[in-house]
Amino acid sequence: MKSLEGPLLPILHEIQAEFGYVPQEALPVIARELNLSRAEVHGVVSFYHDYRDHPAGRHVLKLCRAEACQSMGGDALAERVKSLLGIDFHQTTLDGAVTLEPVYCLGLCSTAPAAMLDGEVHGRLDADAVRDLVAEVRA
Ligand code: FES
């Protein structure tokens, strides 16, 4: 994977910054310009969780899935959020309100379990707190 990164990551980053995701149609163009195969470009896009292949919802809720948060009930919390939203990770609610994404450590391990909603971090989450977060994105 490392040998493919070169200019590819900055290009993908710029595309996502501009459009909010990396459109599938962009992959063959990037591949041609960088003399890579489409499969190689697709592999990099899917390897890095931060790249989206579809537009995000109006809100992006990132739940920490790393060790400290998992040890503090992160799995149960994730299941609760998925159930409340009716979606899985990497999906967006049908009304376009929220995209749910995993994240691997927000630097808030001492206040695990943690999440980030639209760039704002939240720690010490419990069932009530995630219910409130979900209500906020659904409002
Ligand atoms: S493991 Fe979740 S914030 Fe560090």
17: Cβ contacts below 8 Å, ≥ 6 apart? none
Gap from CA of 60 to ligand 1 centroid (Å): 18
At 51, the pLDDT band (50, 70, 90 cuts) reads confident
* pTM score: 0.79
Which pLDDT score, from 0 to 100, does residue 1 have?
53
CB atoms within 10 A of CB 89: 16
- Structure confidence by residue, pLDDT tens digits, 4-33: 568 999 999 999 988 888 999 999 999 999
Residue 109 in contact with ligand 1 by CB distance below 6 A: yes
- Structure confidence by residue, pLDDT tens digits, 31-50: 999 999 999 998 888 888 77
For helices 74-85 and 127-138, angle between their N-to-C axes, nearest 10 degrees: 30
Residue 52 has pLDDT above 70, yes or no: yes
- Structure confidence by residue, pLDDT tens digits, 55-108: 899 999 999 999 999 999 999 999 999 999 999 998 999 999 999 999 999 999
**Angle of CA points 23, 12, 106, to nearest 5°:** 105
Which pLDDT score, from 0 to 100, does residue 93 have?
93
What distance in Å separates the CA atoms of residue 90 and residue 111, rounded to the nearest whole number? 24
Q: Three-class SS of residue 87?
A: coil
Residue 36 in contact with ligand 1 by CB distance below 6 A: no
Helical H segments across 26-93, by residue range: 26-34, 38-47, 67-71, 74-85
Instruction: Choose the residue to mutate in 106, 124, 125 for probing ligand 1, maximizing ligand atoms within 8 Å of C-beta.
Output: 106
Phi-psi map region of 87: left, alpha, beta (phi>0 left; psi -120 to 50 alpha): beta
